[in-house]
Amino acid sequence: MKIIRTDAELQTPITDATLRSAGHELVTLPDGIDEDSLIAAIADADLLLMCYTPITARVIDAAPKLRGIVKYGVGLDAINIPAAKARGVTVVNIPEYAEETVAEGAFALMIALAKRLIPLDREMRAAGWAWPEPAWLGSDIAGKTIGIVGFGKIGRSMARMCGKGFRADVVAYSPHTPASEMAAEGVRHAETLHALLAQSDVVSIHCVLNDNTHHLIGEPELRAMQSHAHLINVSRGAIVDEAALVLALQEGWIGGAGLDVFSEEPLRRAGHMISPLYDMDNVILSPHLTFYTAEAMERLENETLERCNELLDAKPVTIKSRDPRLQGQPGARYP
């Protein structure tokens, strides 16, 4: 069968080799491929593997043989899922491979900001040494209030690391999670997002991107944060109004930011909405790689192959995600 894999810059050697050794034709396409080129490539494809490339209704309609779309990753915002369902194309993601991994990435950004590690490293490389002075003064995590926006598995992992691991006071905002469920994990419940923002020394975003969370953190929310507070985002760039975030950092509404995701990727040093942040010492920019560890990639590749084999063998496809957009697909299995 013919399989298309987009976003070839994200190397998946186990997946590619296994599919080819099984006799399938695998075509890899680069990140940023235009819609027309993707349509031309997918016209006779049986299966589509994608990570970041937008999969529009036009793309789906151009592939009459398409059985399924496998997102080798978590976020589903790039796929027109209603169009896929209308065509009977199964959509599945790999939601569990990097829960702890991404939480560790968020924690690493938080600790690096708190301890001023990036500007200290720059100073050491430039001057050879740095003496204690206010420019290098860091802060502790213990005793601070860490606000978690979204209390799914990654948010819970982040809460555990901060609370049980570093003795921080953890508060979470998640409209669909009962306060009792948070309390059982030692986390305080915030009734509103603004209540969380106003009390937190660090705000870490761990919710999905959908119509309700697009620009969830905008100018009013950034102004509601404390002036020393740091914002961490390892979820999706468009959850934050990035123009407002740039202004907030330029004008000192907040104390800093650690960002691994952006509404337009890849980032650019010039001509990008986020470009002004490159030269700020209170900002850490990461290229959407908090998920990228040897262990997580092995889990991702193995489970991607499991979903591919189910689709190629016309077996029930295992849908592990609780995202309502993936529910109710004919022929799917929901463990």
Active site residues: 236, 265, 288
DSSP-assigned letters across all residues of 201-243: SEEEE----STTTTT-B-HHHHHHS-TT-EEEE-S-GGGB-HH
Q: Is the dihedral of CA 294, 297, 303, 306 positive or negative?
A: negative
Taking the C-alpha atoms of residue 132 and residue 289, their distance in angstroms, rounded to an integer, is 32
H or E segment to which residue 25 belongs: strand 25-28
Q: Is the dihedral of CA 16, 293, 281, 131 positive or negative?
A: negative
Residue 330, preceding peptide bond in cis (omega within 30° of 0): no
3-class state of residue 4 by DSSP: strand
Q: Kindly report the number of other CB atoms within 10 A of residue 33's CB atom.
A: 17
CA nearest 95: which of 332, 319, 327, 261?
A: 319
Q: Answer yes or no: are the C-beta atoms of 6 and 31 closer than 8 Å.
A: yes
Q: To which residue do tokens 């976003």 refer?
A: 7
Q: Kindly report the number of other CB atoms within 10 A of residue 22's CB atom.
A: 14
E-assigned strands of 83-234? 90-93, 145-149, 169-173, 188-189, 202-205, 230-233
319: alpha, beta or left? (left if phi > 0; alpha if psi -120 to 50): beta
Both ends of the chain: CA-CA distance in Å? 27
H or E segment to which residue 157 belongs: helix 153-160
Taking the C-alpha atoms of residue 114 and residue 135, their distance in angstroms, rounded to an integer, is 12
Taking the C-alpha atoms of residue 133 and residue 285, their distance in angstroms, rounded to an integer, is 25
Q: Kindly report the number of other CB atoms within 10 A of residue 251's CB atom.
A: 10
